[in-house]
Structure 1
Amino acid sequence: MTNASPIQLRFAQLRDQGRCALMPFLMAGDPELDVTRSSLLALEAAGADLIELGIPYSDPLADGPVIQAAASRALAAATTPGRVLEMLRSLQGELTIPVILFTYSNPLLNRGMEAFCREAAAAGAAGLVVPDLPLEEAETLSAIAAGHGLDLVLLVAPTTPPERMARIAASSRGFTYLVSVTGVTGVRTTIESRVADLVRQLKALGPTPVAVGFGISGPEQARQVRDWGADGAIVGSALVKVMAEAGATGQDGASAAGRFCGELRAALDA
């Protein structure tokens, strides 16, 4: 793939191998950035293909209670966007899989789109997800991000009308993020079967890979998403919860993250 981005290259490799991408989500700075750093390396070692790294924000509209609590802990630990990028930069040469930053519009606009993208790219990020950015503004940000070698990943919800879904699929770079539920992130016991239809609809719109997130709580659901034809499974709240529970009992959060990631990897490859 000529001039392909790191995210595009990773999905192309996985497609050639007939594998589904495992994409865990971490909240940076929960409970502190040293743990996040160790966890990123543990996740790669356990078989993660890409990692979504959340930048904590005080008003996380798309996040359910587990990730909101993680963001609160991270903010209490004085985690800032600058410190997150500094930590990520320190992993250059150690972490080899693509990292996608998950942030909200306000911190991004506060820093300036151009400055944020420049700093994110310099720190080694491969892409951005900004869940509350309207499509019209996302098209502006996508061009800025691309100028710095970053893919701006856009989200499709179950309620997205077909014509808007087509615009999002055409504008999303790296992959399209399919939200499996109507509502916020969180661990759910089942994934709605209509997600299979949405995966098919999105994949019919073009070659951009489709990854499913919001609500995948464990290995069985990750495998279900794979069987529905998704190119990637994003696991956030369940992993954040595993790490928080480990920390609460004095265990190492990074080791717990690695173990859980290994279970997900085994399920996706089964």
Structure 2
Amino acid sequence: MSKIADAFKNGTAFIGFLTAGDPTIDKTVEYILAMEEAGCDLIEIGIPFSDPMAEGVVIQDANVRALKHNTTADDVFGIVKRVREKTDIPLVFLTYINPVFFYGYEEFFKKCGELGVDGIISPDLPYEEKGEIKDIALENGVDVISLIAPTSSERIKMIAGDATGFIYVVSSLGVTGMRSEIKTDLNSILKDIREVTDLPLAVGFGINTPKQAEDISKIADGVIVGSAIVKIIEEHGENATKYLKEYVSCMKKACNK
């Protein structure tokens, strides 16, 4: 069993994302630990990829910076190993399926299990192909996190029915990025999902302000923020610790008002 459920035990979970290797391997370790200290309940670690199709420009640029430093999947596993020496916070990889395929499914999930990676989110893995990795992942204690988008209404029962860990509810159509307004009828989508699963529901894509986090926390079990955190790292580089802590602390408080 993974530790993902632990993230949702104390009020609405605040889930933060950052790209491994941006700006450096050492700083990624430092920033993960700083984000936990400031209030993150679960952290998503992005494995850099050359064609992150679901990402907006902020996270695309972070992938480019990380790849310029030649950040590899083994480097990312090394980050997890170092983080696990300090904390048992739930950790989830966000990765496109290509790097996992080329690493080798068996070897990849075996390492996840050994090092304490609790889940994987793969934005470009269609539900119909989830079976490629699901059994191998679960054998190693890794949940394959399902994504449900605003366009998934007819597929909700199928996608949620065999989901594990938590469900990532995509708040808006399009790519990741900070949005001034979330216009999707999340109440309706969350209601439909809750009819078929008891798993925690975390909402992501576009959330970046405390007011958005507060509003979504009233209807969801978790709030996911990626681009706003990556933007702080982009702006402050190797000096982002203080700013990350301030932002995460503010967002976590907003989630539990």
Aligned counterparts of 1:205 and 1:191: Cα–Cα separation in 2: 24
**Which residue type is aligned with residue 264 of structure 1?**
M
**Which residue type is aligned with residue 88 of structure 1?**
V
Aligned counterparts of 1:144 and 1:9: Cα–Cα separation in 2: 23
What is the TM-score normalised by the length of structure 1? 0.92
1:119 aligns with 2:111: yes
Partner of 1:217: 208
**Deviation of residue 195 (structure 1)?**
1.6
Does structure 1 conserve the Cα–Cα contact (< 8 Å) formed by 2:32 and 2:83?
Answer: no
1:245 aligns with 2:235: yes
Query: When the two structures are aligned, how many residues end up with a matched partner?
Result: 257
Does structure 2 conserve the Cα–Cα contact (< 8 Å) formed by 1:39 and 1:255?
Answer: no
Partner of 1:196: 187
Aligned counterparts of 1:90 and 1:206: Cα–Cα separation in 2: 34
Identity %: 39
Aligned residue for 2:123, secondary structure, equals coil
- Which aligned pairs between 1:29-40 and structure 2 lie closer than 5 A? 29-40=21-32
Query: Which stretch shows the higher mean deviation, 39-48 or 138-147?
Result: 138-147
Partner of 1:89: 81
1:172 aligns with 2:163: yes
Partner of 2:3: 6
Does structure 1 conserve the Cα–Cα contact (< 8 Å) formed by 2:217 and 2:256?
Answer: no
**Deviation string for 1:133-165 (max 9, x for gaps)?**
111221331211110001110111101142x21
Aligned residue for 1:36, secondary structure, equals helix
Unaligned runs of 5+ in 1: none
Query: Which stretch shows the higher mean deviation, 64-73 or 109-118?
Result: 109-118
1:257 aligns with 2:214: no
**Deviation of residue 193 (structure 1)?**
4.2
**Deviation string for 1:164-215 (max 9, x for gaps)?**
2111111221101011111110000011141221111111211011100010
Does structure 2 conserve the Cα–Cα contact (< 8 Å) formed by 1:29 and 1:79?
Answer: yes
Superposed structure 1 runs of 4+ greater than 4 Å apart: none
What is the TM-score normalised by the length of structure 2? 0.96
Partner of 1:230: 220
**Which residue type is aligned with residue 112 of structure 2?**
A
Does structure 2 conserve the Cα–Cα contact (< 8 Å) formed by 1:103 and 1:130?
Answer: yes
**Deviation of residue 254 (structure 1)?**
2.3
Does structure 2 conserve the Cα–Cα contact (< 8 Å) formed by 1:118 and 1:148?
Answer: yes
**Deviation of residue 117 (structure 1)?**
0.7
The equivalent position to 2:131 in structure 1, one of 133, 139, 149, is 139
**Deviation of residue 245 (structure 1)?**
1.2
Aligned counterparts of 1:199 and 1:224: Cα–Cα separation in 2: 14
Aligned counterparts of 1:35 and 1:240: Cα–Cα separation in 2: 13
**Deviation of residue 123 (structure 1)?**
2.2
Does structure 2 conserve the Cα–Cα contact (< 8 Å) formed by 1:25 and 1:236?
Answer: yes
Unaligned runs of 5+ in 2: none
Query: Which stretch shows the higher mean deviation, 113-122 or 172-181?
Result: 113-122
Aligned counterparts of 2:131 and 2:101: Cα–Cα separation in 1: 14
1:44 aligns with 2:36: yes
